[in-house]
Structure 1
Amino acid sequence: MTWAPEGTKTTNMPGMPAMAEAYARWVNSHGGIAGHPLKVLTCNEHNDSADATRCAQRAVDAGAVAVVGSYSQYGRSFMSPLEVAGIPYIGGYGASEEEFASPLSYPVNGGQAALLAGNGRQLAGDCKRVALVRPDSIQGDQMPSLLDAGLQSGSRSPARDVKAPEDGTDYSTQVAAALKAVGADPAVYGTAAGGGEATGSCVSASLGDHTDTFFDSFRRLQEESPKVRVASVLGSVDQSTVNRTGGATGPLEGADITGWYPVAGDPRWLPMRRVINEEAFNDSRIDPADQGVQTTWIAYTVLRAVIQQLDDAGVEDITAHAIQTTLDRGDRAIDTGGLTPKLRWRGDDMLAVTDFPRIVNGMVTYQVVRNGELVAAQDGFVNVTTTLERRRTDTGD
């Protein structure tokens, strides 16, 4: 089973179930996984807690052996039915706390926690003053302390917290509040000062699908204030967002972006791109640069490796329990082709991160928008494990 929200007014991830279906077509056309045919069920979670429960119950009723590469903010709604049925949750997007707490969850990335801590560290080198624009939601309430952990690792002050509606159509009020917070208020500077430089002033926005709407509003008000550096995390900003907001001449030019995986043009993504070209060439839902699509690819890579391990051990009946046991035992670390560190989920592999005890991958990548293109800001991964662990001490948790 793979689920994600589609057709909603907030965050949508249609590429994740579409990638799952394309993966199934591809693997079955090549003989299945160790000879086992792969059947994928999909479900629209609608960004709704009741529908998240419904999708989980459908997985239970269908006898799914795993939920793989999915997105939902409503971990409380979907994890309980899966736990009761013993169905592992492999490679969720990392949008809920339960994904990093449930013993049946096997995350492939560090979730929102790693992205925001990494973004804070990335900004600490350039920013004396930072404002964070984030959703006025339960999920959004976690964001400030995570970004601040990264800023504090660079001896910077905490960010000013600017709340915004998840489904806003205009963010002029939030833009003005953010600019004022970092000392670049257009009401103070006026148009005569436009184009100046507010040294060390930065605004990071993480509003999911509505981040480009925010930056449209930002561009209009930015023209009347000193230049402010902007930032975000992948998932809120990707190459299509950069394109929609004006490319090299838009507000995201020069932006600091933090992601989980290598940049979309990295050759390590070629196997995924070949599958998309073979099985979903005309499917506009699948963007190979989208972190949801990428997460689903990695999650199915994990599932394939686990089933191969079971086959190598002579296990013919692929069940949820067999998959869970193999993941927990972790006899062999799983190679994702360099898209993540090698993964396994033994007790010794868990990072000591308060609120997120199931994180096993504390790596992020730093990217930047240069000449209208998202490119790597530096080679390799950046380990934010220490930053996340320090948050426990600094916040008194």
Structure 2
Amino acid sequence: MTGWRRLTSSRPCRLLTSTAAGALLISGCGVVPGASGGSREPVTVMTWAPDTTGADSVNMAGMAAMARTYARWINEQGGIDGHELRVLTCNEQDTAAGASACARRAADNDVAAVVGSYSRHGRAFLAPLEAAGIPYIGGYGASADEFTSYLSYPVNGGQPALVAGNGEQLAATCERVSLVRPDTLVGDTMPGLIDTSLSRSDRPVSYDISAPEEATSYDTQAAKALDQAGDGCVTAVLGKGTGTFFDSFRRLEPQGSPVRISSVLGSVGQGLIDRSGGPNSPFEGALVTGWYPAPGDAAWDEMRQVIDTYAFGDNRIDPEDPGVQTTWIAYTVLKAVVEAMDETSITAGGISVSLNRGAEVDTGGLTPVLRWRFQDMVGTSPYGRIVNARVTFQVVREGRLTSAKKGFVDVTETLVGADPHS
């Protein structure tokens, strides 16, 4: 059943909801300012993310909410090069079936792109998108398939770049490293990445400790990590389980221990630091490898202003969340590509051609300048589509993620060196 309702805000917008499909369409508020007599057709895109609850679930609802907020803002500015931006959103439900359903709905609605989305089920959604010729711009990087599909245009290097960068960040500080990682196929790739970085700095390889992702206690793994680290470092990349691991670790760690802890964006973020005590949290002093500048960097000011003005107090949107940040960057890419096309009608095929021919995207310092020509890609078999293999080094100071090193660090060499097929 389909119905219409209005936003209860000072800027009424038209919303089309589809209860059965869990999708939402945001269009502009009346005629798009700056459009020339309606000569430029609207651009319809989709953003999906899981909006779920439960101990084992992933909830990234802030990404879809950020997409809707971006649409309100850009349409009030006149749209994208005169094109009204229409955003469909879909609850991916953190399941393969949900991801596939969202992708099929994107194809049914003939969207020009899927933008700034999250899914761990790349195989389920990429096949329908490829069949329909729809580009996937700026996914979170939660699926390895995003870095191999010819219609995927990632804005970061995903977890592989983070783990490779974490090894380089730790190599500058740690004589020895204990790595605690998931007992999964993805987890099995992590020692190679981190050890390649360590060996490039003549450090010994890490002590590899596999662990379940969603355990309620990690006492056994924490004891092993503490014993093997000596006076070096312990890094844990366990997703949602990372906070639980470091709770176990701190209970076992002797007072005055010299061991330093570390992790990567997505396993540790500002939200987890705040929830675990801020400056009194176990993460004080931790080294963290990220994709983008630290949350307090001035490069995020425009995004924060847009959220303050156009999110209408939507508490799902956390400007310090990497999912929200990735969505903002992905829509920045969409805007730049549509403006470069300068076409009356924007199609999925046209966007893909523009990206493949080298459309450049300046994200205002949130990433290096992005483009997706063949020569811009890392090109190794597992990471063929990565064009941004740069990371940032951060440290937790007084309960805040802050920059530990100015600028970006390129880990392309590590990604290539860790590929057994290279």
TM-score by length of 2: 0.85
Q: 353-362 or 375-384, which moves further after superposition?
A: 353-362
> Which of 211, 215, 229 does residue 164 from structure 1 map onto?
211
Using the TM superposition, give the Cα deviation of residue 125 of structure 1 relative to its aligned residue in structure 2, in angstroms.
Answer: 1.6
CA shift in 2, pair 1:177/1:323, >3 Å: same
Q: Percent identity?
A: 58
Using the TM superposition, give the Cα deviation of residue 281 of structure 1 relative to its aligned residue in structure 2, in angstroms.
Answer: 4.5
> Which of 303, 309, 324 does residue 272 from structure 1 map onto?
303
Q: Number of residue pairs matched?
A: 375
Q: Residue 317 of structure 2: SS of its match in structure 1? A: coil
Q: 205-214 or 316-325, which moves further after superposition?
A: 205-214
> Which of 238, 249, 256 does residue 207 from structure 1 map onto?
238
CA contact (8 A) 2:167 2:197 kept: yes
1:145-187 deviation digits (Å, cap 9, x = unpaired): 222222222222222222222222222232223223324xxxx
Using the TM superposition, give the Cα deviation of residue 255 of structure 1 relative to its aligned residue in structure 2, in angstroms.
Answer: 0.8
Per the alignment, residue 372 of structure 2 pairs with 345
Using the TM superposition, give the Cα deviation of residue 230 of structure 1 relative to its aligned residue in structure 2, in angstroms.
Answer: 0.5
CA contact (8 A) 1:10 1:209 kept: no
What is the 5 A alignment of 1:322-337? 322-330=350-358, 332-337=359-364
Provide the rounded CA distance (Å) in 2 between the counterparts of 1:169 and 1:232.
Answer: 19
CA shift in 2, pair 1:171/1:43, >3 Å: farther
Per the alignment, residue 46 of structure 1 pairs with 93
Provide the rounded CA distance (Å) in 2 between the counterparts of 1:86 and 1:228.
Answer: 50
What is the 5 A alignment of 1:9-20? 9-20=56-67
Per the alignment, residue 250 of structure 2 pairs with 219
CA shift in 2, pair 1:294/1:252, >3 Å: same
Per the alignment, residue 193 of structure 1 pairs with none
Provide the rounded CA distance (Å) in 1 between the counterparts of 2:283 and 2:82.
Answer: 47
Provide the rounded CA distance (Å) in 2 between the counterparts of 1:305 and 1:165.
Answer: 41
CA shift in 2, pair 1:7/1:61, >3 Å: same
Larger relative contact order, structure 1 or 2 (CA cutoff 8 Å, min sep 6): 1
Per the alignment, residue 142 of structure 1 pairs with 189
Per the alignment, residue 194 of structure 1 pairs with none
What is the 5 A alignment of 1:84-233? 84-183=131-230, 199=231, 201-223=232-254, 226-233=257-264
Provide the rounded CA distance (Å) in 2 between the counterparts of 1:263 and 1:52.
Answer: 30
CA contact (8 A) 1:116 1:150 kept: no
Per the alignment, residue 320 of structure 1 pairs with 348
Task: Tell me, yes or no, if structure 1 residue 2 matches structure 2 residue 47.
Answer: yes
Provide the rounded CA distance (Å) in 2 between the counterparts of 1:273 and 1:55.
Answer: 28
Provide the rounded CA distance (Å) in 1 between the counterparts of 2:234 and 2:259.
Answer: 7
Q: Residue 383 of structure 2: SS of its match in structure 1? A: coil
CA shift in 2, pair 1:10/1:38, >3 Å: same
Aligned partner of 2:356: which letter? D
Aligned partner of 1:119: which letter? N
Q: Residue 355 of structure 1: SS of its match in structure 2? A: helix
Provide the rounded CA distance (Å) in 2 between the counterparts of 1:224 and 1:168.
Answer: 25
Using the TM superposition, give the Cα deviation of residue 396 of structure 1 relative to its aligned residue in structure 2, in angstroms.
Answer: 6.0
Provide the rounded CA distance (Å) in 2 between the counterparts of 1:345 and 1:26.
Answer: 27
CA contact (8 A) 2:148 2:381 kept: no
* Unaligned residue ranges in structure 1 (runs of 5+): 184-198
Task: Tell me, yes or no, if structure 1 residue 246 matches structure 2 residue 277.
Answer: yes
Provide the rounded CA distance (Å) in 2 between the counterparts of 1:136 and 1:42.
Answer: 33
Per the alignment, residue 82 of structure 1 pairs with 129
Provide the rounded CA distance (Å) in 1 between the counterparts of 2:182 and 2:87.
Answer: 32
Provide the rounded CA distance (Å) in 1 between the counterparts of 2:112 and 2:170.
Answer: 41
What is the 5 A alignment of 1:335-374? 335-374=362-401
Per the alignment, residue 318 of structure 2 pairs with 287
Using the TM superposition, give the Cα deviation of residue 225 of structure 1 relative to its aligned residue in structure 2, in angstroms.
Answer: 8.3
Per the alignment, residue 28 of structure 2 pairs with none
Using the TM superposition, give the Cα deviation of residue 203 of structure 1 relative to its aligned residue in structure 2, in angstroms.
Answer: 1.1
Provide the rounded CA distance (Å) in 2 between the counterparts of 1:306 and 1:386.
Answer: 29
CA shift in 2, pair 1:223/1:55, >3 Å: farther
1:84-124 deviation digits (Å, cap 9, x = unpaired): 10000000111222111111000111111111100000001
Q: 161-170 or 237-246, which moves further after superposition?
A: 161-170
Using the TM superposition, give the Cα deviation of residue 67 of structure 1 relative to its aligned residue in structure 2, in angstroms.
Answer: 0.8
Using the TM superposition, give the Cα deviation of residue 223 of structure 1 relative to its aligned residue in structure 2, in angstroms.
Answer: 4.1
Q: Residue 119 of structure 2: SS of its match in structure 1? A: coil
Provide the rounded CA distance (Å) in 2 between the counterparts of 1:11 and 1:205.
Answer: 19
Q: Residue 87 of structure 2: SS of its match in structure 1? A: coil
* CA root-mean-square deviation: 1.7
CA shift in 2, pair 1:140/1:5, >3 Å: farther
Using the TM superposition, give the Cα deviation of residue 361 of structure 1 relative to its aligned residue in structure 2, in angstroms.
Answer: 0.9
Provide the rounded CA distance (Å) in 2 between the counterparts of 1:41 and 1:162.
Answer: 42
CA contact (8 A) 1:68 1:300 kept: yes
Using the TM superposition, give the Cα deviation of residue 342 of structure 1 relative to its aligned residue in structure 2, in angstroms.
Answer: 0.8
* Unaligned residue ranges in structure 2 (runs of 5+): 1-45
